[in-house]
Amino acid sequence: MKQRLQGKRALIYGGGTGIGLACAEAMANEDAAVFLSGRRAGVLEGATSRFAPHHRVGWAAGDATSAADVQRVTAAAVHFLGGLDTIVVSAGAGGRTPIFDTDPDEFQRIMDNTLRPVFLAVRYAAAELMAAGTGSIIVISSTYGLVGHKERVAYCGAKAGVIGMVKSMALDFADKGVRVNAMCPGYVETPLSLEVASLEDDPESALAAKRLMHAIPRPGRLDEMGELAVYLASDLSAFMTGQAIAIDGGYSAR
């Protein structure tokens, strides 16, 4: 077993599926103790069954847009883990939102489910992260936070906003031993990305286009996302903060 994260204690929002779960599994494989959160208790319970018996894994359901839930989940994670030095925020929402006809409530839904969890997760864990003496906050943004995309005004705006939050928080924490960085994945097939594609007029064509949209002509893999998260959580990245790291097969380089 590798041990790049031995002794680390990680809370992962959106940890029951997709990129969040991939990050949790990669961290556990590097000897971190992990605590998963998400809205659905059944999904979280099922996710824990994927971990090896020797892994230390806990979970608590909660809504990452609710201040009360985030406070409760943070307290449960600290109790289970014996402290907290790593947070992954992989919570968000997407959808087609052309500027011409998008309902304001749909715009707000994507904003609230993407920006608010980042603020709440960090706000209510800040004291624990600083008490640990060293810490890492990893926020899952998107390559669409770095570049624009047609008919995605809400998603692009929210993910770009996440990057702005990361840069600001990185400066707040810089002299306190805590680093803050964003991962900006390209297209990775997750339950959320498949759900978004299903809303297109021609879902199969939309999926085919997404799979080949990168300069490296394939989707990103979940294990690749997990590996970057491990690096950002580890002491190997101790001099890196405030960065938005594209892991998008060259899409944002075009």
| Residue carrying structure tokens 């075009």 | 254
The pair of structure tokens assigned to 17 is 């599926």
CA 141 to each of CA 59, 104, 175: distance values in angstroms, whole numbers, following the listed order = 23, 22, 24
* Residue tagged active-site, from 13, 124, 144, 155: 155
Q: Is 21 helix (H, G, I), strand (E, B) or coil?
A: helix
CA atoms of 91 and 38, how far apart (whole Å): 8
155 is annotated as an active-site residue: yes
DSSP-derived letter for residue 220 is: B
Cβ pair 180, 170 in contact under 8 A: yes
Cβ pair 241, 182 in contact under 8 A: no
Point out the residues that are catalytic.
155
